Homo-oligomer: A and B are copies of this chain.
Amino acid sequence: MFVGVTVLLLSWASCALSAQYQERYLDVPVDHFSFSRTNETFKLRFLVVEQFYVKGSPIFFYCGNEADITTFFDNTGFLLEIAPIFNALVVFAEHRYYGLSMPLGARSLSPSEGLRLLTTSQALADFVRLIDHLGGQYFGTMLTNDTFPVVAFGGSYGGMLAAWLRMKYPHVVLGAVASSAPLLQMNNLELCQAFYRSVTESFAANGNCSYPVKLSWAAIRNLSETVQGRRSVSQVFKLCKPLESSEDAGKLIDTLVDIYVNLAMLNYPYPTHFLAPLPANPVKSFCDKLRSFGVVETAVELLQAVSSALEIATNFSGNTQCNNIETTVEQPVDYAWDFQACFELVMPICSSALDMFEPTQWNYSKYAQDCSRKYQVTPYSSNGVLLEHGGRILKYASNIVFSNGLSDPWCSGGVLKNVSDSVVAVLIPQAAHHYDLRAAHPVDSHYVLEARKFHVGQIKKWLNIP
C-alpha cells in the first residue's frame, strides 16, 4: 500500500525465488459491465507455477495489487512454500492498469480518459474471468457446470481484493487469506489519526527517535525561509534540484514523510527488496544511526544527522548521487494508484501534534477537488466503494482470514477482531506489512510462524482436508 504518492527516492528492485513461473496472458473484457459493438478485450498478465500441481488439487490465486505482478511474486513466497502441502497450482494475477496489463493500450494511463475503467469491480471481474479460464484449462470444467477449489490470497490492497472476491463471488473462490488489508480505513474519519500515530510509535519505541524527527520539520521550514538556509538544506539532503522557495520545503518534507512511513511499514527483521532495498530492521537501523551523532547543537547539524541516518534508505546501494524530491505524481506509471486513491479507495489520513509529523488535517473536499481537477473525473459520491463492498459489514461473509502485523501502520484500518466462526482475525505482534505472506526466513518470529500455521489450518478446513 502506498501512502499518497509513490516514494520516488526509492528505486524498485526484485529478487527471484527458486520456483519458476510461466508468464501468460488472457484476453478479458475491457469493460465487464457493458456491452459494446467491438467487444474490446485486453491481455491480462498472470504468472503460473505448475511444479507443485497435481490434477484436481486447488488453485492458490494471488490477487495482484498496485504494481507489476512480479513484485508480488517475489515478495509473497508463502504461497509457493505451502503449495506442495496442497499440491496446488499457484497463480499470480496482475491487476489491470499495472505492470503489463493495460486495458486501453498506450492510452490506459492518460489522466483525462484512459483511467476511467480502473475500478475495483472491474478488477475483480478480471480475476473471475481468469479463474473461469483456469478451471477450463486445469479442471476441464467451466464454472457454469461445476466448481473447483480456488483459494484467494492478497496483501494490502490485494488483501482487500481477496476478501471482496470471496464476498462477491463465493461461487468462484472458496476462501481468502487477506493480509494487512486496511478495509476499515476507507472513508473512515475516525481512523484519520491512527496511521501516523502508529508510525510514530514505531520510531518512539526505538530510543524515542521520533523526537529528533519531529524537531527536523521546524528546522527545514525555518532554514528554507532564506536563500542561504535553502542552500544548506539542499546540500544536507543532497537534493538533485536545490530548493528554490520556501514552498519547496513542503516537497522535501512530503518526501521524507513517505520514507519514514515506508521504514515503519517495511520494518522487516532482515534485508528486503520489496518496494525498495532496505536493511534489516530499518527503523532501528535509522534510529541507531541517528543516535550515533550524539547531541546536535544547530538546526543544520540536526538535519545532517537525519539525512545521514536516512541514507539506509536513500543510499542503500552507496551509489546515490543525489535525491529527487518531485513527489507529486508526474509519471504515468504513478497515475493508476493515485487515481484509485482519489476516487474509490479514499483513505483519510491526518496527524496531530502528538505525532512525529507536522500536524495535518484531513480535508476531503479539498482532496476531492484536487483529484477531480487532475483527472477530470467527478465521482457520483464518495461512498461508492462502501456501497459496493460493504465497508465494515462483514458478518455475511465466510471463509476469510484477516491477518495484520501489529507494527504495520496499516493495521490501524485492518479487521482486528473475529467477525464470526469463519471470518477471523489474526494479530501478529512485531510484524510489518503482510509479513506473513513472505517466504520463510531464519529470523521469523514464532508469532509469524504461528500465523502461517493458522492460515494453513484454515485453508485445510475450507478444503475439507483433515
List residues of chain A with CB under 8 Å of any chain B CB: 28-29, 31-37, 39, 41, 112-113, 115-119, 121-122, 125, 128-129, 132, 142-144, 147, 168-172, 187, 343, 375-380, 383-384, 386-388, 390-391, 393, 396, 398
Instruction: Give Cα distance in the complex from A379 to B121, angstroms.
Output: 18
Known A132-B383, A143-B386, A380-B41; judge A34-B31 contact (CB<8 A): yes
Instruction: Give Cα distance in the complex from A118 to B118, angstroms.
Output: 20
Chain B residues with CB under 8 A of A383: 132, 142-144
Chain B residues with CB under 8 A of A142: 383
Q: Is the CB of B116 within 8 A of A387?
A: no
Chain B residues with CB under 8 A of A129: 380, 387
Chain B residues with CB under 8 A of A386: 143-144
Chain B residues with CB under 8 A of A35: 115-116, 118-119, 343, 375, 377, 379
Query: A116 touches which one: B34, B112, B116 (CB < 8 A)?
Result: B34
Known A391-B144, A396-B398; judge A37-B132 contact (CB<8 A): no
Instruction: Give Cα distance in the complex from A378 to B27, angstroms.
Output: 15
Q: Is the CB of A121 within 8 A of B33?
A: yes
Closest residue of chain B to A39 (Cβ to Cβ) is B378
20 contacts between A and B (CB under 8 A): A32-B33, A32-B121, A33-B119, A33-B122, A35-B377, A36-B377, A39-B377, A39-B378, A41-B380, A121-B121, A129-B387, A143-B383, A143-B387, A143-B391, A144-B187, A169-B387, A170-B393, A171-B390, A171-B391, A171-B393
Instruction: Give Cα distance in the complex from A378 to B129, angstroms.
Output: 17
Q: Is the CB of B33 within 8 A of A33?
A: yes
Chain B residues with CB under 8 A of A171: 390-391, 393, 396
Chain B residues with CB under 8 A of A125: 388
Query: A37 touches which one: B37, B41, B128, B377 (CB < 8 A)?
Result: B377
Instruction: Give Cα distance in the complex from A113 to B38, angstroms.
Output: 11
Known A171-B393, A377-B39, A380-B39; judge A387-B132 contact (CB<8 A): yes
- Give the shortest distance, in Å, between A68 (CB) and chain B (any CB): 23
Instruction: Give Cα distance in the complex from A143 to B36, angstroms.
Output: 32
Further pairs besides A39-B378, A144-B387, A170-B396: 16, Cβ < 8 Å: A29-B380, A31-B33, A33-B34, A33-B117, A35-B115, A35-B343, A37-B112, A37-B113, A125-B388, A128-B387, A132-B383, A168-B168, A169-B387, A171-B393, A171-B396, A396-B398
Q: Is the CB of B116 within 8 A of A147?
A: no
Closest residue of chain B to A378 (Cβ to Cβ) is B39
Instruction: Give Cα distance in the complex from A31 to B375, angstroms.
Output: 18
Chain B residues with CB under 8 A of A172: 387
Instruction: Give Cα distance in the complex from A170 to B379, angstroms.
Output: 24
Instruction: Give Cα distance in the complex from A115 to B378, angstroms.
Output: 24
Q: Is the CB of A39 within 8 A of B168?
A: no
Closest residue of chain B to A186 (Cβ to Cβ) is B144
- Give the shortest distance, in Å, between A273 (CB) and chain B (any CB): 34
Closest residue of chain B to A133 (Cβ to Cβ) is B381
Q: Is the CB of B36 within 8 A of A116?
A: yes
Instruction: Give Cα distance in the complex from A460 to B339, angstroms.
Output: 44
- Give the shortest distance, in Å, between A167 (CB) and chain B (any CB): 8
Closest residue of chain B to A343 (Cβ to Cβ) is B35
Closest residue of chain B to A187 (Cβ to Cβ) is B144
Closest residue of chain B to A377 (Cβ to Cβ) is B35
Chain B residues with CB under 8 A of A379: 35, 39
Q: Which 9 A-B pairs have the closest CB atoms?
A: A171-B390, A170-B396, A171-B393, A33-B33, A144-B383, A39-B378, A35-B377, A35-B116, A29-B380
Closest residue of chain B to A147 (Cβ to Cβ) is B393
Closest residue of chain B to A386 (Cβ to Cβ) is B144
